[in-house]
Amino acid sequence: MMQHSNALGNPFSSLLAQVGPIQQLIFGENASSAAGRSSDGLFMFILWLSVFFFVVLMGLSVYFCIVYRRRPGVTAQRTATHNTALELTWSVVPLLILVVIFFWGFDGFAKSRIAPGEAEQLILTAQKWEWTLQYPNGVTSTERELRGSRTQPIFYVPENKPIQLRMISSDVIHSFWVPDFRIKRDVFPNRYTSFWFQPEPLDLSDSRVKIAGEGTADQYPYLDHMIMCAEYCGDLHSDMLGVLRVVPESVYIKWLASQAFDPEGKMPWEIGQYLYVAKGCVACHTTDGTSGTGPTWTKVWGQKHLFADGSSVDQVDENYIRESILDPAAKVVAGFPNQMTSYQGQVTEEDINNMIAYMKHLAGVDTAPADESSEEGGS
């Protein structure tokens, strides 16, 4: 394994952060950021300390149990029942060690909380079981990859540049955790929290770094880090994952441009399709007929819908879709949990119309291209 030189972090951590076999066994891979390696160093320091005390104490106990086992005729001897000097040492010495651990821990913690000034600002929104990351030019990633039991979003980040996420949740508390960076931070509905990291420069000799577009002209190395939700948030808490893809700077800029979506000259349903991914509807609604957390969008437009409270509508129309987006709890389709949070204030009227157009398209009913005049549109 390549030894990762470690510029940051105090001498202790660099000494102990060399990737030993025990650390490999415990952590799987080495941390992918300097702060992460310093935290690993502290963990190993505590580990070796604990092993020492454990072996001493358990060894003594087992030894005493064998040597002083009860044998007929042999009695327990009198021994001193207190020894102030000994008792003081085994109180003060642990305290001193703990003070060292505290300051080392605080050092890594402070570094993880204060982002460097020039960090790039991205806005992360967490909602029940979907992460969405918005880049400065308003772009949200639409690439997804199969991880766990469904496709998860992929977020591209440039290598070797400090990045700060301004995180907010739109329903319950989540927690943004990237195990490779050894940091997590809770995401709250009523205030922003910050999460900053600096991905390492991509090092081709590292086995985890892969090459995209092998052999073609624009091949580039990338390294994936798993994103996990660490604060319990409900049914699909275990599938609220994400992939943080570290790519070279140039590839990152090119990718950002490719993701930008200009609605000019696009059919309403094409804009609707983009919104379907960008607004996170993809997390619960599928477009291939299988039912996810919510009903699938292929069987919505014009269909009969039975609701949980027994009422039903025989032909789904614009008003029903519009109401279900802004106030989902009003009419919950039978057999589905009442889990959808309201998109009040997060989607404009025009977005809703485009999404309705996309649902019509999925149901095979194509309206004419976006002509403002006919409100009804061919049905």
Partner 1 sequence: MATIDTHTSATVEHDHHDEGSYLKPKGSMLITLIDWLSTIDHKKIGVMYLFAVFFMFFLGGVAALAVRIELLEPIRQAADGTITGSNLASLFGLKDYSVAQSGNLYNRFMTLHGAIMVFMFIVPGIPASLGNFFLPLMIGAKDVAFPRLNLLSWYIYLFGSMFGVIAIILGGVDTGWTFYTPYSTTTDADHLNVVLMVLAAFILGFSSIFTGLNFVVTVHKLRAPGMGWFDMPLFVWAIYSTAIIQVLATPVIGITLLLLVFERTFNVGIFDPAMGGDPVLFQHFFWFYSHPVVYVMILPAMGIISETLTIYSRKKIFGYHAIAFSSLAIAAISFLVWGHHLFTSEGTLTATIFSALTFLVAIPTAVKVFNWVATLYKGSIVLNTPMLYTMMFLFTFLIGGLTGLPLGALSTDLHLHDSYYVVAHFHYTMFGGMVVAFLAGIHHWWPKMFGKEYSQLGSKIGFFLVFIGFNVTFFTQFFLGTQGMPRRYASYLSEFQPLHQISTIGSFVLAMGFFVHLFVFIQSLAVGKKAKPNYCGGLTLEWETSSPPIEHNFHHEPMLRHGPYEFADVVPPQCEPGEYPMPDPVENNDH
Partner 2 sequence: MSTQNTQTFDSADPHGYHTGDTHGHTIIPMSTLRAILGALLLFTFLTVFAARAEIWFAEAFNVAIPDWVNASIAMGIAVVKALLVALFFMQLKYDNPLNAIIFSSCLFCVALFLFISAYDLKTRGNTYRWTGQESSAGGTLVGIKGKPAGQNIVQWAHESYKEKIIAEQGQAAWDQLAAEHMHSNSDHGPTHNSPAASRPGQGLTPGLFESGPWAHLPTSHAGEEPSSDHDAPAAGH
Touching partner 1, residues 130-149 (CB under 8 A): 147-149
State in angstroms the smallest separation of the CB of 169 from partner 1. Answer: 9
Relative to beta strand 242-247, strand 150-158 is parallel
Among residues 125, 273, 286, 367, the one that binds partner 2 under rule CB under 8 A: 125
- Decide whether 127 or 354 has the Cβ nearer to partner 2: 127
- Decide whether 73 or 310 has the Cβ nearer to partner 1: 73
**Residue 26: what are its φ and ψ, rounded to 5°?**
-75, -50
- Decide whether 5 or 75 has the Cβ nearer to partner 1: 75
Amino acid at 151: T
Among residues 160, 142, 162, the alpha carbon closest in space to that of 152 is found at: 142
**Residue 312: what are its φ and ψ, rounded to 5°?**
-155, 160
The yes or no reply on residue 338 touching partner 2 (CB under 8 A) is no
Among residues 28, 117, 345, 378, the one that binds partner 1 under rule CB under 8 A: 28
Relative to beta strand 144-147, strand 130-134 is unpaired
The yes or no reply on residue 119 touching partner 2 (CB under 8 A) is yes
191 Cβ contact list (under 8 Å, min separation 6): 168
State in angstroms the smallest separation of the CB of 193 from partner 1. Answer: 8
Task: Sketch the per residue contact string, 301 through 330, with partner 1: x for CB under 8 A, - otherwise.
Answer: ----------------------------x-
Among residues 1, 24, 89, 113, the one that binds partner 2 under rule CB under 8 A: 113
- CA–CA dist 122, 171 (Å, integer): 20
Stretch that binds partner 1, among 70-78, 159-167, 318-326, 366-374 (CB under 8 A): 70-78
Q: Classify the phi-psi angles of 231: left when phi > 0, otherwise alpha if psi is within -120 to 50, otherwise beta.
A: beta
The answer to whether the beta carbons of residues 293 and 129 sit under 8 Å apart is yes
Stretch that binds partner 2, among 4-12, 242-250, 308-316, 336-344 (CB under 8 A): 336-344
E strand intervals along 230-306: 242-247, 305-306
- CA–CA dist 286, 314 (Å, integer): 22
The yes or no reply on residue 298 touching partner 2 (CB under 8 A) is no
Among residues 11, 117, 310, 335, the one that binds partner 2 under rule CB under 8 A: 117
Residue 213, classified by CB atoms within 10 Å of its CB into exposed (0-12), middle (13-18) or buried (19+), is: exposed
Structure tokens at 60: 């003594």
Among residues 15, 68, 203, 334, the one that binds partner 1 under rule CB under 8 A: 68
291 Cβ contact list (under 8 Å, min separation 6): 335, 336
State in angstroms the smallest separation of the CB of 86 from partner 1. Answer: 8
Among residues 25, 204, 217, 257, the one that binds partner 1 under rule CB under 8 A: 25
State in angstroms the smallest separation of the CB of 92 from partner 2. Answer: 26
SS3 (DSSP) at 91: helix
Among residues 12, 188, 261, 320, the one that binds partner 1 under rule CB under 8 A: 188
Touching partner 2, residues 129-158 (CB under 8 A): 134, 136
State in angstroms the smallest separation of the CB of 310 from partner 1. Answer: 14
State in angstroms the smallest separation of the CB of 313 from partner 2. Answer: 20
CA angle 188, 193, 194 (to 5 degrees): 150
Among residues 124, 226, 115, the alpha carbon closest in space to that of 162 is found at: 115
Stretch that binds partner 2, among 57-65, 190-198, 205-213, 223-231 (CB under 8 A): 190-198
The yes or no reply on residue 58 touching partner 1 (CB under 8 A) is yes
For 212-224, the DSSP string reads ESTTSTT-EEEEE
Touching partner 2, residues 225-284 (CB under 8 A): none
CA distances from 31 to 121, 193, 324 (A): 23, 23, 44
- N- to C-terminal Cα separation, the chain: 63
The yes or no reply on residue 98 touching partner 1 (CB under 8 A) is yes
The yes or no reply on residue 319 touching partner 2 (CB under 8 A) is no
Question: Token pair 């009903």 is at which residue?
Answer: 295
Residue 5 contact, options partner 1, partner 2, none, Cβ 5-8 Å cut-off depending on partner type: none
Write out the residues near partner 2 by the rule CB under 8 A.
113-115, 117, 119, 121, 123, 125, 127, 134, 136, 164, 166, 168-172, 188-192, 194, 327, 341-342, 344-346
